[in-house]
Structure 1
């Protein structure tokens, strides 16, 4: 049976970490073939106390804070499994996830494998009853070849970070980019696709992804996030459409504009506003977003009236 290394990077996530660890240790796949690696990326909370009961059943690494990419890379460097899978400390898996992913991996050699996920809204406490990929109509994308998936993922990222890959892929495409503060998983997956490694889907939702967790980077859009997105697209500039590129520039400049206003840097804000006014692609993006927001408000009002 193939061995799999599961890497959980964690930074000040003690509140959720135990559930993530338990979800790996309770997999139906034979425990002797599962190597759990937890990377404490400079946490200052009670992470060590949470880890203590599980120390004999895992590899535990502590390191200075290097960000999510540094945590993932720290785990990859010591992993010994045939495959490597990733789980963030605030998410968790359902018991059959590894078994079904490995079954698909054996049937589809030299592929990335992921499963559909349930989304747990931390603000409302509601857990979706339908898989995220199914709900968004993304399932057909996973039957495409690597090149077509690469083009699709550059247009709009349809992947999640919870992939499983053959361990030797890191020797081929490199580790996670530590210079990125956001989207290091997207960047890594794009490199895998560019190298000819497609991603295949186990359609069952077999993981739970927390949305809007307090302190999570994805709930705090900022200039560094927009800059990371732009840097990723720049790596693949020859494959990115002009409109997509200009929209990414507009998103970054919009955040810079907000930051300049908040800092009362009005001359700088005026310069950015001029750039935004001439960015037609970003203007079309804003119009689409506003139209979508209006449709959602109308739909919500209709639902409320019906109730």
Structure 2
């Protein structure tokens, strides 16, 4: 499949790199890395995302080149860091984009363990890598493409983002080797971290709001599930400064007895989004109940029911996922 991806890319002159509507460090870093690598090959590359890049990601150099205008004159589209159609809803609703994707070559580069729900012919999903950025490194190395320092930095950001600093269980020896190669190619993890910390600074208002969120946390399933609700009013008031869910999810995960944490945002159109962070590797199973997906320890979903209904279904899905996990680990132990 690497050879197919190489052929598709090398035969294209103009390429649009597509992120889903939930950009993160991996999707953005992967997009910028492709722009750098393919640009050095003489390709004209644009980066598309249907939503604005969140402020917490703006420490990543090149974020400001991402546009909300889809280049329908491109020869090839590369979708990065998702193989789920539910996360491309806004993209597919953009006039002309669905027709473009149905009538032009499309390459999907992803690493999520959730089964692909996209029907494009050329889908390269590698579950052996911790991030799409690692997959792009492997594709570039296998193809003999040059990796400049900015591309190396962008891929390192992608890897560090999805591996939580090379600490997740799906981080392998190969991941460490790739990170080492990227540093040799010019990436500086200390420089990246300095910029990230600068952007992570919080205003007194945000710190006070964090206290409010902590006060709202509910513990369900005998304390195994931590839940916080972020209504539309909060999203409007605070999201421009900081992603509300990220203020508390990691700390919720550190509470004794908690195995699963979830932040649910609710919107005026009836949509709700859930962000999952887990201590037990069941996040993808829970998200899958709602048609979402992700990783074993971090995943997300979208739903269109009443908040109370979603919470009930979340409790049921979490209970089942934890029971199934306990059963499987017991069987393996036997």
TM-score (normalised: structure 1): 0.31
TM-score normalised by L of structure 2: 0.29
Higher helix share: 1
Q: 1 or 2 for the larger relative contact order (CA 8 Å, sep ≥6)? A: 1
